[in-house]
Amino acid sequence: PCVLVLHGPNLNLLGTREPAIYGCTTLADIHRAMEAQARAAGVQLESFQSNSEGELVNRVQAAASEGIRFIIINPAAYTHTSVALRDALAAVAIPFIEVHLSNVHARESFRQQSYFSDLAVGVISGLGHEGYALALTAALSRLAQAQD
């Protein structure tokens, strides 16, 4: 089984981007921790970040033929704008968890609408980088359950 972790625009800047909101952990730190967690469970994990909506759509479409069984996605600003990325996830029908570092419900009103949450298995928002570890814990237990 294989898990794909997708990161939307500006998340490549984690660590230096508005650290009071997004924390000091870098995307490389997050990837390293998730890879170790997946490896310990005998699961392959791949991460992909893009600032481009089309590249994220293409990555989701490719996941279907690559045998990706679960997606963890922080769509970043595309959370609030992208019907295209939503439609891609609906098209491949791979279960996914939506993660946000910040608590989007405690911020500007435009962040309180998500094009993803109603399709997601679950949503984690406001727990910083720990949210990714928690999402992966949930994904791994679902994959293990599906196996037996």
Q: Which residues are annotated as a binding site?
A: 74, 80, 87, 101-102, 111
Q: Smallest distance, Å, CB 119 to ligand DQA?
A: 16
Active site (annotated) includes residue 100? yes
Q: Smallest distance, Å, CB 104 to ligand DQA?
A: 5
Question: In the complex with ligand DQA, which residue's Cβ is closer, 108 or 148?
Answer: 108
Active site (annotated) includes residue 22? yes
Quote the strand ranges of the chain, DSSP E: 2-7, 44-49, 68-74, 96-100, 122-125
Question: In the complex with ligand DQA, which residue's Cβ is closer, 4 or 104?
Answer: 104
Q: Which of 78, 100, 115, 129 is catalytic?
A: 100
In the beta sheet, which residues pair with residue 96?
Answer: 71
- Interface contacts to ligand DQA, rule CB under 6 A: 10, 74, 76-77, 79, 100-102, 104, 111
Binding positions for substrate: 74, 80, 87, 101-102, 111
Nearest to 72 by CA among 95, 91, 105: 95
Owner of token pair 């946000």: 100
Question: In the complex with ligand DQA, which residue's Cβ is closer, 104 or 140?
Answer: 104
Contact status, residue 1 vs residue 63, Cβ threshold 8 Å? no
State how far the Cα of 114 lies from the Cα of 16, in Å rounded to an integer. Answer: 25
Neighbours of 49 (CB within 10 A): 20
Q: Smallest distance, Å, CB 75 to ligand DQA?
A: 7
